[in-house]
Amino acid sequence: MRFSLSEEEHAIVAATAETERLAIGAFAAQATLAAARGSARPEYIALREALATVMHAAGQAQRIGVNLNQAVAAMHSGEPPPQLRWYAEAAARAVRKLDELAEELRLRLP
């Protein structure tokens, strides 16, 4: 299927596709099918943003956990490293952020 858009229309479609993190063609296909079915196009922006945040937080938590494990191992071999407190605080912050994100998702979902 092919169709033409003015420069202004193309810019609008491209900007919206970018906002939803979709290729222009994928966005156009979704919008076209939704219109043909007479249904509203599903909005996935919030869920995509939440997924990106969860993935980022999970990566941070994993790195913090590795560092915390290394610090605890060093502590068992003699002297607690000065980073131990920082890693523990970072782990607590990561957990709080994940809790906040979970609550935000709960409020956004129907």
* pLDDT tens profile 40-87: 655 666 676 777 788 888 888 888 888 888 888 888 888 777 777 787
Backbone angles phi and psi of 94, in degrees to 5: -60, -40
DSSP 40: P
The pTM for the full model equals 0.47
Q: Where does residue 30 fall: left (phi above 0), alpha (psi -120 to 50 degrees), or beta otherwise?
A: alpha
The residue-averaged pLDDT of 35-39 equals 81
Q: Residues 41-53: pLDDT tens digits?
A: 556 666 767 777 8
More confident residue, 10 or 49: 10
Residue 1 has pLDDT above 70, yes or no: yes
